[in-house]
Chain A
Amino acid sequence: MILVVDGLNRHRYTKLLDQMFELRARVFRDRLGWDVKVEDGKEIDEFDALDPAYILGLNDEGRVVACVRALQTTGPHMLSDVFSAILDGEPPLRSATIWESTRFCVDTDVLDRGTSRHSVSFATCELMVGALEYSRDAGITDIVTVIDPIMNRVLKRSDCAPYDYLGSTTPMGKTSAMAALLDCTDERIDRVRAFAGIEGDVFADAETEAALADDAPAQGGGADMGSLFDLVQAQPEPQPTELEQYCLDQVAAAETDEERDAARRLAAELCRAGMVSDRALAAINC
């Protein structure tokens, strides 16, 4: 069963989100050995603060066994930032109808092999169907997804092979990472559904959604969404530091692509050294 948690309802699903962050820590730090920040057993990065959408796969006991995170490619996302090496330093795709998916993983400790409802294969397919249908219903046509070679193999075996890849497979931790392209067409969704024998609606219905919430059932009221004014106030854009401004000026003043690339490389270097913020780097790379 699939549950979508985003900025609108995440306050109701903190327990499920914690399970997801713990799953990500086990997969990306422990199993894949990626350089991710884990605190208190949870892998959480700066993109989790940007109100992404999480597509969660839950087993019959309501436990998170699969997850993926989606962001728009028009705004800050991983390929425009920490995963830029995968694209050989090239700027990422940017389109209203392309989303990025990252942190795609399944729980191999809980799921078994084979093809039953409790298998890795089924959980992966169900998550794919959920992610593809959620994207399609939002008017999205294609997804660029960052995956490791094992996940790539699972996709190929599930009749959900990427139609292309961007950049190159890049060493990352104990394994490597690649950027794959998937279309959100009905043909692909039908193929994955047929492969795993998934019929009917994969998304949790309203009743189940309510039952899965932290303190179920919390009806009515709704979140205090504050006002747009608070929203602006709550996001005071930090003024660029002198050094960040220098980098911005260098990029703006670049007359050739080489000069611009050089200015960006410098900024990336300074960012790695912690002297330029990720936010400023994103602005520099846009």
Chain B
Amino acid sequence: MSVIDLSKLPFPENDLKSFLDQVCEANELDYAAYAGINPIAQTVHGFVNYPDEWQTLYVDQGFQNRDPALLAASRSIAPVDWQRLRGEQSFKSIFRAAHDFGISEQGMTIPVRGPYGDMGMFSVTRDCPDEEWRLLKRKVLGELQTAAVHLHDHVISSQALTRVLHHPALSKREIEILQWIAAGKTQQDVADILTISNRTVEVHLRSGRSKLGALTTSQAVGRAIGLGLIHPL
């Protein structure tokens, strides 16, 4: 099985590799990588912003098939810190090689599970001491979870077969809230109007953004209007 470099494929309006760069930049990380398994198409997809020489070696050696970080994450619902894998022989052999290319063994892999048995593994790394890593992780994990799902959804829905299956199923509540936001109301306004808590509005907005493949609420509003779910005012 080969790794398909999505960064070299045409992705309308989405440059996935520059997305990785942005995630690294915003979250104080050195490198990021994504690997996705689509059981319907029986493929593994991957793209990274690692140095080119390391990418080449990784693929030539077929590391994607025995990378313990990917294997472990695929069986976990929580992000897997690579510290948990340091005892594994396969981890040692891959990271001895990675080290020569300036890639740190300080990192983690965030698993994403999609609705069709599809899975994505989003890995990030940063060369720093354990304590600094612990603090950074705590600060950026929520952001990285969101980025991981966003990336995965885009990759999966870029494939013809899964695109057919995919259409956003928003609940009445999610649509209602997006409609109020489109009308210029703040999150707190919406909470007051619907007599629910601000946090309830927040979880519905977050869910709406995820279903619409949007990273921001204004993107979500734009897409919801485009799909005819809500009306522009």
Contacts and interface: CB of A to CB of B under 8 A. Distances in A.
Interface string A83-119: 0000100111111111100000000000000000000
Q: Is the interface of A mostly helix, strand, loop or mixed?
A: loop
Contact of A237 (B113, B117, B200): B117
A164 B115 CA distance: 26
Nearest to B169: A91
A204 interface: no
Contact of B145 (A96, A227, A248, A286): A96
A167 to B, nearest CB: 9
Contacts of A139: 79, 110, 141-145
Interface stretch (B38-46, B99-107, B178-186): B38-46
Interface stretch (B9-17, B52-60, B205-213): B205-213
A21 B100 CA distance: 47
Interface in A208-266: 220, 222, 225-229, 231-232, 235-237, 248, 252
B142 A97 contact: yes
Q: Which of under 10, 10 to 19, 20 to 34, or 35 or more describes the interface residues of A?
A: 35 or more
B87 A220 contact: yes
A125 to B, nearest CB: 22
Nearest to B1: A229
A248 B207 CA distance: 23
A80 interface: yes
A71 B43 CA distance: 24
B130 interface: no
Nearest to B78: A138
A119 B48 CA distance: 51
A225 B76 contact: no
Interface string B205-227: 01101110000000000000000
Contacts of B87: 220, 222
Given A95-B203, A138-B141, A225 B116 contact: no
A160 B165 CA distance: 39
A271 interface: no
Contact of A97 (B74, B164, B165, B206): B206
Interface residues of B, number: 64
B224 to A, nearest CB: 13
A42 interface: no
A248 B149 CA distance: 24
A274 to B, nearest CB: 20
Contact of B113 (A74, A227, A279, A285): A74
Contact of A285 (B112, B169, B197): B169
Contacts of A228: 1, 35, 37, 44, 64-67, 70-71, 74
A72 B74 contact: no
A13 interface: no
Contact of A91 (B70, B113, B144, B171): B171
A96 B115 contact: no
B141 A226 contact: no
A181 B200 contact: yes
A93 B117 contact: no
A120 interface: no
B145 A94 contact: no
B196 A52 contact: no
Given A140-B145, A248-B165, A227 B77 contact: no
Nearest to B201: A164
Nearest to B114: A75
A8 interface: yes
A7 B75 contact: yes
Interface in B149-172: 149-150, 164-167, 169-172
Given A8-B76, A72-B111, 7 more contacts: A93-B203, A95-B210, A138-B79, A142-B203, A164-B196, A228-B64, A232-B39
11 contacts: A51-B75, A73-B207, A80-B115, A93-B203, A96-B112, A96-B150, A228-B65, A228-B66, A229-B65, A232-B42, A283-B116
Interface of A: 6-8, 50-53, 70-76, 80, 87, 90-99, 134, 137-142, 163-164, 181, 183, 220, 222, 225-229, 231-232, 235-237, 248, 252, 279, 282-283, 285-286
